[in-house]
Amino acid sequence: MEMGVLMKKIFIIQNVPHENLGVLENSFLSQGFTLRYFNPQELIRYNDSAFNYDALIMMGGPMSVYDTTEFPHLIKAAQVIRMAYTAGKPVLGICLGAQMIAKAFEAKVVKNTEKEIGWYPLNLTPAGETDAVFSSFSKTETVFQWHGDTFNLPHGAVLLASSPLCQNQAFRLGKNIYGLQFHVEVSAAMVAEWLDENGNKEELSCLPQIDSKNILSNIPTYIGRLNFLCQALAKSFEKMI
């Protein structure tokens, strides 16, 4: 491992405690990256005039990108995304993070026609099949989802993946900005934790069509493949840093 890699730092926006890097974290740490998590309060206090990290990752969260009165850190999140873009640094957004990338580049974020919570098929587009970050994905995979919003693609973005219930599942903007609506990062323990989180249980109680027991029972079926894809995606993203 080159010494230069050991010095590289990743800026991570963590909107809620239970949504962290998950499986991605071990990959980044094993390659010597320094990880700096910013919770909402820390993000608001971040006032650097330029982006001084080597990459930016924004995680998911239960809020909407437009809930800026209740969650003012989202205003700063959009600013940091644009700062990273201006600095030419790689950016990865997952779920809310992908929606924030879209909003930061003036694309609309709206309610999806149906909530996706659980295991769903993901279909690569022709562009996705040739994209280096998705090189380990088959044309159709089963991934984990937990979202009610969706986004329009930012101007110039390339659609990489879709699902039957949500067209815009992954995109690339420029050469090194990626938005993923689905959760590639979850471990088996994270899925179980999310299903047991109070706010999530309240949400699920209003969605009789979503069977949390079925989600839990399907973890052994799908989690191994998803974790492999996560590690492969991490390695591809690391090459851009």
**pLDDT for 17:** 93
Q: Is 185 a catalytic residue?
A: yes
pTM for this predicted structure: 0.95
Q: Which of 19, 116, 185, 238 is catalytic?
A: 185
Q: Which residues pair with 141 in a beta bridge?
A: 122
Burial of 140 (0-12, 13-18, 19+ CB in 10 A): exposed
**pLDDT for 49:** 87
**Which residue is associated with the tokens 């779920």?**
95
The enclosing H or E element of 27 equals: helix 23-30
Q: Which of 25, 95, 230, 238 is catalytic?
A: 95
How far, rounded to the nearest angstrom, does the alpha carbon of residue 163 sit from its chain's CA centroid? 16
Contact 12, 59 (CB under 8 A): yes
Q: Which of 166, 183, 230, 238 is catalytic?
A: 183
Q: Please write the tens of the pLDDT for every residue from 93-143.
A: 999 999 999 999 999 999 999 999 999 999 999 999 999 999 999 999 999
Residue 2 has pLDDT above 70, yes or no: no
Q: How many CB atoms sit inside 10 A of residue 212's CB?
A: 17
